[in-house]
């Protein structure tokens, strides 16, 4: 079976495109272009290695500026942000939307260190209680 997004592909990210844990992306460029059936000018963010773009509204513009601590969109290029799906109030309805947050890389998993004690002497399994 085909999903709706597969049947009607879009060049823009939608909330349904977001994985549960969010999507970490590197900004490639920000351009003003005509979007939608009204061909209204909007700001669009392009991402390195991605075919889809992100159309900005005022809220998401402010969230990117805050996440990157940078008001000038020319200085966003090369920086990494995270998009995630959530809900927002639209009139009297709660609707799906995409929001932006600062990307905070998690700690790298530390490699497991082999035991330094020789085999056969109990290693770290010393059950003696030091009283």
Domain boundaries, the chain: 4-102
CB proximity list for 107: less than 8 A, separation 6 or greater: none
pLDDT for 32-87, tens place per residue? Answer: 999 999 999 999 999 999 999 999 999 999 999 999 999 999 999 999 999 999 99
Predicted pLDDT of residue 47: 98
Burial of 84 (0-12, 13-18, 19+ CB in 10 A): middle
Angstrom distances, CA of residue 27 to CA of 24, 47, 118: 10, 5, 51
Global confidence as pTM: 0.75
Q: Give the pLDDT of residue 5.
A: 74
């Amino acid at each position: 079976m085909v999903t709706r997004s597969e049947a009607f592909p879009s060049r823009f990210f939608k909330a349904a495109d977001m994985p549960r844990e969010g999507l970490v992306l590197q900004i490639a460029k920000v351009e003003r272009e005509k979007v939608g059936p009204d061909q209204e000018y909007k700001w669009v963010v392009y991402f390195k290695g991605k075919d889809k773009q992100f159309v900005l509204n005022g809220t998401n513009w402010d969230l990117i500026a805050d996440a990157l601590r940078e008001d000038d969109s020319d200085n966003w290029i090369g920086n990494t942000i995270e998009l995630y799906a959530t809900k927002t109030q639209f009139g009297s309805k709660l609707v799906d939307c995409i929001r932006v947050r600062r990307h905070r890389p998690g700690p790298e998993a530390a490699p497991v260190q082999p035991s330094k004690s020789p085999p056969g002497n109990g290693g770290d399994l010393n059950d003696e209680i030091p009283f």
